Amino acid sequence: MTDKPGAAIAGTGSYIPEKVLSNFDLMKLVDTSDEWITVRTGIKERHIAGEGETTASMAVTASERALEDAGVRAEQIDAIICATITPEMPLPATACFIQDKLGAEQAAAFDIAAACSGFIYGLEISKMFIESGRYEHVLLVGSETLSRITDYQDRTTCILFGDGAGTAVLKASNDRQEGIIYTNLKSDGHKWDMLQLPGCGSRYPASQEVLDKRMQYMKIQGRAIYKFAVNSMQELIVDAMKKCDLSVDDVKMVVPHQVNRRIIDSAMGKLGFPAEKVYINIDRCGNTSSASVPIALDEARREGKLVAGDTIIMVAFGGGLTWGSAVVKL
């Protein structure tokens, strides 16, 4: 017997901006087609932040929804962790803007940068905070305004990304029937250049040259990332199932990073997961980086596809390189 509390998901929330950028809209900007994008990625449209919408504003709406879902008041939150690669500004942390708007007076607040794996990294951090007994409630956010770092002159990247925010409220729980059972985080910084935004950091501070070379936008090696994503997704799921002694039947749903429909189908097909056990919203949302897993999780719960007692596996991978998984009993 141990008194150590577990960390459980008490509630979720998400926000997707109203403004839609369809494949047909992109055809007016770059040399592409609805057919090419649909076949290669599964994306039909993505949502883009409107004027005045930012990473923090979307995060606040998603967080208010998550707090309501959890029945937790903002003042009860002990820590706010925001995973993002598109912070409100470099200083201060986006989490501080969220803390202020929510009125989370007791909360510590900081950001983490683990690209598309950010929410999974945040789950492990939240788990450790809660299991140590230090914190009772953690608000974990993934929020991205990728449209502001996307080059709409580059057809190889601009078709992929969308904006949005997803939040989970984690709580201390002594109920052994629920909680984060397992997390696994990985990285390989040697391959940092496979997915990068080179400009406006300490290596290439903002300058006219940086802007002229369009270094303020994301650059990706799509083909290489494709192979990495299929492999890491399979490896993460096999590892999680092995470590937690789970069969396909035991897993209600895999909630994967919405990277590319073909990548997800290829990995899940090889692992023997039927389509109804994989949550997909990439057709509507595109890739929203750290927001992708929590938005998908929230949608699956609100659609009634996931209920208390279900065991899920979340997986994500992206820039860094970073990748990771989490097994949760809801």
Minimal distance, residue 167 CB to ligand COA, in Å: 20
Minimal distance, residue 44 CB to ligand COA, in Å: 14
- Burial annotation 148-184 (CB, 10 A radius, 16+ → b, else e): ebbbeebbebbbbbbbbbbbbbbbbbeeeebbbbbbb
> Residue 73 or residue 270: which is nearer to ligand COA going by CB?
270
Determine the Cα–Cα distance for residues 149 and 214; give it in Å rounded to an integer. Answer: 10
> Is 287 an annotated catalytic residue?
yes
Minimal distance, residue 33 CB to ligand COA, in Å: 6
> Residue 6 or residue 318: which is nearer to ligand COA going by CB?
318
> Residue 98 or residue 165: which is nearer to ligand COA going by CB?
165
> Residue 5 or residue 319: which is nearer to ligand COA going by CB?
319
Q: Which residue is nearest to ligand COA (CB)?
A: 222
Minimal distance, residue 230 CB to ligand COA, in Å: 10
User: Which alpha helices (DSSP H) does the chain contain, by range?
Assistant: 23-27, 34-41, 55-70, 94-102, 118-131, 208-212, 222-243, 261-271, 282-285, 292-302
> Residue 8 or residue 197: which is nearer to ligand COA going by CB?
197
Long-range contacts formed by 27-34: CB under 8 A, 24+ apart:
29/152, 29/153, 29/158, 30/152, 30/153, 30/154, 30/155, 30/158, 30/159, 31/155, 32/155, 32/159
Minimal distance, residue 120 CB to ligand COA, in Å: 13
> Residue 92 or residue 222: which is nearer to ligand COA going by CB?
222
Determine which one of 23, 82, 96, 116 is catalytic. 116
CB 138 within 8 A of CB 170: yes
Strand pairing of 45-47 and 6-15? unpaired
Determine which one of 82, 96, 257, 260 is catalytic. 257
DSSP 211-261: HHTTTTS-EE-HHHHHHHHHHHHHHHHHHHHHHTT--GGG-SEEEE--S-H
Q: 């900007």: which residue's tokens? A: 29
Q: Which of 172, 184, 4, 176 is nearest to 79 (CA)?
A: 172
Residues near 205 by beta carbon (within 8 Å), at least 6 away in sequence = none
Minimal distance, residue 259 CB to ligand COA, in Å: 4
> Which residues bind to ligand COA, rule: CB under 6 A?
32, 36, 40-41, 116, 155-156, 159-160, 195, 220, 222-223, 225-226, 259-260, 287, 318
* Residues labelled catalytic: 116, 257, 287
